Structure 1
Amino acid sequence: MDTLVLRLQPGDDLRAALDAVLKTDGIGGAAFVVSGIGSLRGAGIRFAGAETATRIEGDLEILTLAGTLSPDGSHLHLSVSDAAGRVSGGHAAPGCVVRTTAEILVAVLPEWRFSREPDPQTGYAELVPRRRSSQTL
């Protein structure tokens, strides 16, 4: 396992930046977010069971960030707090824009390849982890 330490800049889209990680030369096809903290100026969060994301406006603190990264897309969960300390959490949707910083630890798994494939049971594209053969390492 290898690790990457990322610092996203003001104006960066959190999800887009993490989706781009596996497109970096030599990273491979499987990674996960171990930890993430920072601040956002608004966020898109899809709450449990909801079909679409809810937009939360204003200055937000990232309390937690975790998920899997694959070439087919990411699956990220986050929790944020607003200026009054109210906490919201769920699936990180596009539009989570960094306000001052986002500090993220990513674990890269070179021996693995993640894909997202339709699952008839859930109706969603779900994670399919596959170990790479020793010939492709």
Structure 2
Amino acid sequence: MKTLPLRLNPGADLRAALSTALSAFHGEAAFVVSGIGSLCEARIRFAGREDVHCVVGDLELLSLSGTLGAGGPHLHASLADADGRVFGGHVAPGCIVRTTAEILLAVLDELRFTREHDAATGYAELVVRPLS
């Protein structure tokens, strides 16, 4: 396992930037150890919902967790708005960094994460395989 500390700049799309960083590091499996920062726009899917909720404004990224791999990232975040109201859920594309996002990834050298349809859940779920 190797660690990959990242600082994402203003305007970066959180999901896309993490996928790009993992690819540039030649990794195929990683998980988020820590993630904090700020966003100016968040797109979050709440539990049990199909639609994505969009919030625009000054937002604190209180925590970020999840996995990254060939099937794309699966991330969850806790956010607070300018009034201190906290909300969170599944991170959708379009979460835009406001001032910074400080992320620590753990890259697993000998594994590959993919996402495959799971008949039991109806969703593309994590599949862990050794690298060949």
Deviations 1:59-114 (A, max 9, x none): 00000001000111110000100011000100001111000000000000011111
Match in the other structure for 2:82:
83
What is the distance in 2 between the residues matched to 1:28 and 1:92?
21
**TM-score, L = length of structure 2:** 0.96
Alignment check: 8 A CA contact 1:22 1:71 kept: no
Query: TM-score w.r.t. structure 1 length?
Result: 0.93
Letter of the structure 2 residue corresponding to residue 81 of structure 1:
A
Q: Which residue of 1 aligns with 2:43?
A: 44
Instruction: Tell me the equivalent position of 1:11.
Output: 11
**Identity value in percent:** 64
> Which letter maps to 1:60?
L
SS of the residue 1:68 aligns to: strand
Q: Give the superposed CA RMSD.
A: 1.0
Larger Rg: 1
Q: Write the distance in 2 (CA, Å) between the matches of 1:42 and 1:21.
A: 21
AA matched with 1:70:
G
- Structure 2's unaligned 5+ residue stretches are none
Query: Matched residue pairs, number?
Result: 132
Q: Which residue of 2 aligns with 1:30?
A: 29
CA contact (8 A) 1:46 1:90 kept: yes
Q: Residues 12-63 of structure 1: CA distance to partner in whole angstroms, max 9, x if unpaired?
A: 00011012123215x3210011110000001000000000210011100000
